Structure 1
Amino acid sequence: MKILPGILSAFLLLGTAAHAQTTTAETAAVKQTITTFFDGMRRGDSTLVRRTLAPGAVFHGIGGQPVALQTESIAGFLKAVGTPHAEVWDERVQFERVLIDANLASVWAPYEFYLGSKFSHCGYDSFQLVKLASGWKIAHIIDTRRKEKCK
């Protein structure tokens, strides 16, 4: 009967290792979607940015005085990204937290935004992503924006 606990332990360890590998691969894929989004923004490539978005994606921003929730137009954002502008839009994110369950991912990411080399503002991005047949896509972005007390 000592064999049975050993077999059960082996299955548990294999199951945990397989789950950890999947989580690591999925985490990398989620991060890559977000990285591609910002690479497209830096390049002024609205087509690349669009490819990272789920159908019906929503953008929100929190800011202003008094603080308000602002809904941003995806079409307007994509048009702005693709319209030539003098300075590179450079949003530098750090992946502080990535949570995944099945086909849903949530990412918490502090950022600093630069127009060319000049600091503009900072805050936190919160992304909700869904895994579709074509891979991880951004369904929702909400962010805070401020000029001081940056991480």
Structure 2
Amino acid sequence: MSATQTIHLYDRSVFSKDERAVLQVAENFLDGIGARDKTLMTEQVLPSGGAVLMRNGAPIFTNLTGVIDRIPFDSPNKIEERISGQPIVRIDTNIAMLWTPYEFLINDKVDHIGTDIWSFAKLDGKWLVSGVADNALIPDASAGQH
């Protein structure tokens, strides 16, 4: 694992080769956040794919380029998003979905948590993120969210 790779804490052994390929695309995207590597993130997506980001109970509609542009790459803080529980992957030929609980950390402290719902399309043998929906919740240690 390189110094810029995010740690993902879940059991990869339960997934098929194709499911791991889908997961890898999401992991690469998330690794791009911690590495502040916009190019790595952009390589994982269909730029005009859609996104719905639920913030404070209201949806923000954007495309996947807009999601990447929301990342504070110029922040002096260490930022990281990691998959925080066992993902669910479903594939049908050339489309896939991935459900992942996540934690977003700033300077190694959980800032918010939520769920990412990813959709993928397989083009020319390569999986790409075609859409995402997520929510962002304030962590409550006593509530056992996720």
How does the TM-score come out when normalised to structure 2? Answer: 0.78
Q: Secondary structure at the match of 1:34?
A: helix
Deviation at 1:80, TM superposition (A): 4.8
RMSD: 2.0
User: Residue 13 of structure 1 aligns with which residue?
Assistant: none
1:36 matches 2:4: no
Deviation at 1:85, TM superposition (A): 1.7
Q: What is the correspondence of 1:1-151 to structure 2 with a 5 Å cutoff?
A: 24-64=16-56, 67-72=57-62, 74-81=64-71, 83-93=73-83, 94-133=85-124, 135-147=126-138, 148=140, 149=143, 150-151=145-146
Runs (4+) off by over 3 Å: 72-83
Which structure 1 segments of 5+ residues have no match?
1-22
CA distance in structure 1 between the partners assigned to 2:82 and 2:59 by the alignment: 23
What do residues 59-108 of structure 1 show as CA deviations (whole Å, max 9, x unaligned)?
A: 211131xx222113544443454742212221111342100000010111
CA distance in structure 1 between the partners assigned to 2:72 and 2:105 by the alignment: 17
Q: Which amino acid aligns with 2:19?
A: T
Structure number with the higher helix fraction is 1
Identity %: 25
Q: Secondary structure at the match of 1:86?
A: coil
Query: Are 2:64 and 2:131, in contact at CA under 8 Å, matched by a contact in 1?
Result: no
CA distance in structure 2 between the partners assigned to 1:76 and 1:25 by the alignment: 30
The structure with more radius of gyration: 1
Residues 118 and 107 (structure 1), Cα distance of their counterparts in 2 relative to 1, 3 Å cut:
same
Equivalent residue pairs, number: 127
How does the TM-score come out when normalised to structure 1? Answer: 0.75
Residues 80 and 55 (structure 1), Cα distance of their counterparts in 2 relative to 1, 3 Å cut:
closer
CA distance in structure 1 between the partners assigned to 2:88 and 2:66 by the alignment: 29
Which structure 2 segments of 5+ residues have no match?
1-14
Q: Secondary structure at the match of 1:41?
A: helix
